[in-house]
Amino acid sequence: MPSEIEGVELKQQPILSENERIAAQVRSMLDENGVKAVEFLGGPGCGKTSLIECLIQELRSKYKIGYIGADLATTSDTERISKYGVPVVQINTGMECWTPAFLVKQALEKLNLKELDLLFIENLGNLICPFEAPVGAHVRVGVVSVAEGEDKIVKYPKPLMLADVIVINKVDLAELLGINVEKMVADAKKVNPKGLVVVASAKTKQGIEELVEVLGL
């Protein structure tokens, strides 16, 4: 990902510019077909897939939903999502730490966009790199789990300020882990200029209705 660190030559700005050009093409493909795309980003095991499962259960009677999932190596997330009868496409990046927009564009070409209203795009488990490289989604949801520790939002401010919505997930574990959720919410509002923060638990379904509302779905 791009860098201004001295002493090491990181020629990545051209890649990101090129990525943005392709992300704009992805956005056009979505808009031409009337598909709203919501991207989920966050570290390993923060609960991106579980939140998407909750949203699919909540919304599948209202929208025709599709799913694109990015992972280093496995197809386990797409397998989980396909159980809901939703068309899915898997992206595997190997060792790559972000999902280039051209892979999402290729994935879109495998879906019948005319038959979809809503697309969930799940990025790689990484709380840094994918935030910098938009893939063309209309809304970007950054997810942090309370199980990652109360300090996680202040520790990852630059990525999280690039999200449209921040979800503080696994809140059912907060009491057990001694996490001050109010502090995390305050941190999220401070870090993120849009200030849209949802406290949720994919396990207990807390906050899912609010997330639906915040996403305008």
Dist. CA 186–CA 217, nearest whole Å:
25
Closer CB to a copy of itself, 133 or 215, in the complex: 133
Dist. CA 214–CA 208, nearest whole Å:
10
Name which position in 10, 34, 182, 205 contacts a copy of itself (CB under 8 A).
10
Alpha-carbon torsion (117, 217, 138, 204), positive or negative: negative
Name which position in 30, 41, 65, 71 contacts a copy of itself (CB under 8 A).
71
**Region from 53-61, 66-74, 109-117, 181-189 binding a copy of itself, contact rule CB under 8 A:** 66-74
Using rule CB under 8 A, residue 196 touches a copy of itself: no
Closer CB to a copy of itself, 59 or 104, in the complex: 104
Map residue 203 onto helix, strand or coil. coil
Using rule CB under 8 A, residue 118 touches a copy of itself: no
Closer CB to a copy of itself, 18 or 213, in the complex: 18
Task: Show the tokens assigned to 119.
Answer: 């697309």
Map residue 71 onto helix, strand or coil. strand
